[in-house]
Amino acid sequence: MAKPFRTVASAAVVLLALAACSTGTKAGAPTPSSAPSSTPSPTMTTSAVTTPTAVPPSTPTAQTARTAATLTKALLALADLPAGFSLEKDDNSDGPDVAVSSKDSRCARLVAYTNADNPPGSKASASQSYSGGAQGPFIDESIDAMASPAAVRALQKSFKQAVAACRTMTLKVPGEGSSPISVRPVSAPQAGTDPVAVRFTATSGPLEGFEVTMVTTGVDDVVLAVTVINGLPEDLDGATSTAVEKAQDVLGATQSGT
């Protein structure tokens, strides 16, 4: 699954700077979760996706090991997105070291997941970020090979439990400050297998109003994550559905994940 805060840190800083310019306040002032734009932002449309049906467990068949190159081909391309989107450069190494923390022991697992570069057990990984304009929506996608559908199901179960156990964490963006963020499970797009969705919202402080929504789901032996900033529910639904369909086509995965 994606590292939801670091991978979209540049988008967060851009939004905060835009809000400061529009209100005449210093960077880091409270901002709305959806900043108005003078030009319409591209919007994802939700395509029809068949809800996965329960299939009895079976012995996984042998398959070629996934590589980063193969996973990269399975990521969304500009041709898969509405007009107006562009690819963001991978500048994580040069960007701010955004991180979450919590003094609540019940949040330890979720903190570990969100701060990690890749989920535990990942054998290969690929990711890409997309921008719908200066004010968004900003979309990040990652795909991690987990070696087997059973490993994907175990990860999804663990992540869901981690989200359910935690209510508040602290988000730190260097140069902008720290704010408490609420953790709230939300309805996940019905794409892939065992989808889990969570929304992180800065509730006060210099990052107030900053919101990230993330969904992770299984596609056979890989876990796919889509993160959206400053977008609408249809952006998350459309991006996830399209991403799952693309991964299924490129990786030769089944909808049932077995």
CA atoms within 13 A on the CB side of 61: 7
Global pTM? 0.76
Residue-wise pLDDT for 160-192, tens only, equals 999 999 999 998 888 788 899 999 999 999 999
Evaluate if residue 257 carries a pLDDT over 60: no
- Within 10 angstroms of residue 247's Cβ, the number of other Cβ atoms is 25
* CA neighbor of 4 nearest in space, from 158, 145, 138: 138
Architecture of domain 9-19+66-251 in CATH? 3-Layer(aba) Sandwich (3.40)
Domain boundaries, the chain: 9-19+66-251
**pLDDT tens, position by position, 29-71:** 333 333 333 334 455 543 333 333 333 333 334 356 899 999 9
Provide the token pair at 38: 């003078």
In this structure, the number of other CB atoms found within 10 A of the CB of residue 30 comes to: 17
DSSP state string for 209-248: T-EEEEEEEEETTEEEEEEEES--HHHHHHHHHHHHHHHH
Check pLDDT > 90 for residue 146: yes
Contact present, 146 and 122 (Cβ < 8 Å): yes
The encoded tokens of residue 178 equal: 């720290």
Angle (CA) 200-188-89 rounded to 5° is 60
- List the strands of the sheet with 86-88, edge to edge: 86-88, 124-131, 138-145, 222-229, 211-219, 193-202, 177-186, 168-173, 99-101
Phi, psi of 256 (to 5 degrees): -80, -20
Query: Does the pLDDT of residue 143 top 80, yes or no?
Result: yes
